[in-house]
Amino acid sequence: MITLSRREEQDVLDRAKEQSLKHCEALVKDFADCAKGKTVTVLWNCGGQYNTMRQCMKDYLTLERIDAAKADHIANREERNAEALEKAQKKLTQRRT
């Protein structure tokens, strides 16, 4: 079984969270607009928007979606490694000239 390193796992989760924020963009904007200019009172004034936003993100970030993102990351790992190696070799060649 192929596994991810801690860094890779965190990268996958970060990308999944970014995608959930994009998916729930309208709700995130509603919460941000409500929270603008508030400090502690955001807890009372914007609780409904916050809960709605969090529920949208929770519904989007299912275990199946995260597992699919991990599988995709593993499937494309070799390609990314080859690209990184090629980039490093070009950089090394440029330094020598």
- Work out the number of other CB atoms within 10 angstroms of the CB of residue 24: 22
Q: What is the pLDDT of residues 44-95, one digit of tens each?
A: 999 999 999 999 999 999 999 999 999 888 888 888 778 888 888 888 888 8
pLDDT at 96 over 80: no
Query: What residues does each domain of the chain span?
Result: 6-96
**Which positions ≥6 away from 31 have C-beta within 8 Å?**
46, 49, 50, 52, 53
pLDDT at 1 over 70: no
